[in-house]
Structure 1
């Protein structure tokens, strides 16, 4: 269900019901949440009976619905507005609110176009550089210093002179199908949700989100194949000079175009390529891959260019025979993903110096 007010007459009813409160974390168990119906420009004109909500592993929720206390009440998961494709109908539960219902600004409908310069309400720290502006480029990536019309991605690390965040950089076309939109937040339940997510993935970090920027590509086609649908989202989160990127993936159509997903910094001092994102024939797997155990979501801490980790303790949840070279590389790759997620440069190399086999 939506945590933000849903427009009147959505979900085939007069006053649609939405969740007036944040969704729980997995550790919260079953919780009670209030429900509101939007009518006469009052988002909670019709308070309804509370419902039970539970978060489940895998990034989804279970709701125990009860009968609404007014005749035109219908539970709503945010529907389309005038049949526009920028709705969250059918969007993965990992997506943050987007589209007209969330108050997004749409990008120009233009081949290889970009947003105008977007003044950020709060500076965003990206590997030691602080930015006050951002551009949302139609071809699936964010830049800070200037807009970009490049539709053929260069491979990371590129050792270029710009910082770039690529949700799915390829030749996308919003002229016939799909919407590219964005919104930034400095208050409200979305900041609560962002704080919850970051604390889930970084439980030892004292963090509270004060600013969130959401850019969404909803059912956008590839050029020139207009019958393809590709949906993904980039979420920038910051608070107290700590910053993160969330990349959320929905349905991703395969393509013959060159593709690239991840990030790269000036001179490639920090970079990351999401595994499997370099081949257009495999990128549909992005919906099921993750570095945080939530299918379709990748999360990175990106505020510092310094590697401040002085020690590492790891707990393996299954047995691996580390006398096998294949198992060694698999374990090291998994450890590297954890380190990169916490802000360490992707160029770090991990080597196993010694293997000692002991009885359990």
Structure 2
């Protein structure tokens, strides 16, 4: 996964040239640490709410973060995690690889990927993270997670949350000011666990080491979104992953809320969407499906069956 034999990033000389021109055309103009969301689906982030940040570097990660609450991910309890600059929250091991791969991945590598791609925060943006028991945050999470549970099930009442935010992050080799903002939120009551993937503005899909265009941030191998259990069996690929349609995640949802995807992850189920083809994924944001019966779940396994009862939305902007 990630770097293949003979597959290396461009030379340091080229990077220095890119950095030397960054003030002229690069995303260094976007540096800053605002407090609060850029869109309605994002939870507050930044130093003003107590966030820490990873170092500004290519393919960087946070130190190991020890959790205040057990987080059960596909039946296995975790007490620590890493926030990886390249768009993932991982358990047990860092994931610095810059080339996104489809799930499931070989080997024990459990992680959540809101937008796994080649991020380079030296060229712009910040990666923030914090764990929280703030009552206001937990109340909002309980409300936002309610549509993710089937009717008759107890409503979510999280007592702990972990919020990781990639704020206006640039891509490796960027020759433009295109940036992405997205977020992963883990929530738990000590037993039941959820993951929310929240998307703000997504302006690029690919860094130049994965054959992306330096001026558009498009082409090549686009970003991957979803999660990998680490057992080689259970996983979820958000529809559109590793295709140009991944850029439309801010307009799509499995809840009917533009830019938000929610999943219960303590057991072996995840909310799926109906079969999607490249044609349907490339529709404009104004296109939509009629809502189908909600709260259908499927076991997530290699080549899982899908039915038209499953629900996904393309939401208008």
| TM-score normalised over the length of structure 2 | 0.70
User: Structure 1 306/181 Cα, relative in aligned 2: closer, same or farther at 3 Å?
Assistant: closer
Aligned to 1:268, the other structure's residue is in SS state coil
Work out whether residues 106 and 181 of structure 1, in 8 Å CA contact, stay in contact via their aligned partners in 2: yes
Aligned to 2:231, the other structure's residue is in SS state helix
Find 2:197's aligned residue among 240, 247, 254: 247
User: Structure 1 236/306 Cα, relative in aligned 2: closer, same or farther at 3 Å?
Assistant: closer
Matches within 5 A, 1:229-244: 229-244=179-194
Matches of 2:253 and 2:46, distance apart in 1:
24
The residue that corresponds to 1:273 in the other structure is 237
- The offset of 1:204, in angstroms, is 3.1
Matches of 1:130 and 1:346, distance apart in 2:
20
After superposition, give the CA deviation of every residue in 1:62-95 in whole Å (9 maximum; x if it has no partner): xxxxxxxxxxxxxxxxxxxxx9533256711110
Give unmatched runs, 5+ long, in structure 1: 1-82, 308-329, 353-360
Matches of 1:100 and 1:212, distance apart in 2:
17
The residue that corresponds to 2:305 in the other structure is 349
Work out whether residues 171 and 257 of structure 1, in 8 Å CA contact, stay in contact via their aligned partners in 2: no
Matches within 5 A, 1:205-354: 205-206=153-154, 207-225=156-174, 226-254=176-204, 255-258=218-221, 259-279=223-243, 281-305=244-268, 338-340=296-298, 344-347=299-302, 348-350=304-306
Work out whether residues 37 and 44 of structure 2, in 8 Å CA contact, stay in contact via their aligned partners in 1: no
- The offset of 1:162, in angstroms, is 1.3
The residue that corresponds to 2:105 in the other structure is 158
User: Structure 1 221/262 Cα, relative in aligned 2: closer, same or farther at 3 Å?
Assistant: same
Aligned to 1:165, the other structure's residue is in SS state strand
Moved over 4 A (4+): 334-337
Matches of 2:111 and 2:38, distance apart in 1:
25
After superposition, give the CA deviation of every residue in 1:229-253 in whole Å (9 maximum; x if it has no partner): 1010000011141000000011112
Question: How many residue pairs get matched?
Answer: 243
Aligned to 1:198, the other structure's residue is in SS state helix
RMSD across aligned C-alpha pairs, in angstroms?
Answer: 2.6
Give unmatched runs, 5+ long, in structure 2: 1-29, 205-217, 271-288, 309-317
Work out whether residues 249 and 259 of structure 2, in 8 Å CA contact, stay in contact via their aligned partners in 1: yes
User: Structure 1 191/336 Cα, relative in aligned 2: closer, same or farther at 3 Å?
Assistant: closer
Find 1:107's aligned residue among 54, 68, 92: 54
Aligned to 1:247, the other structure's residue is in SS state strand
Larger Rg: 1
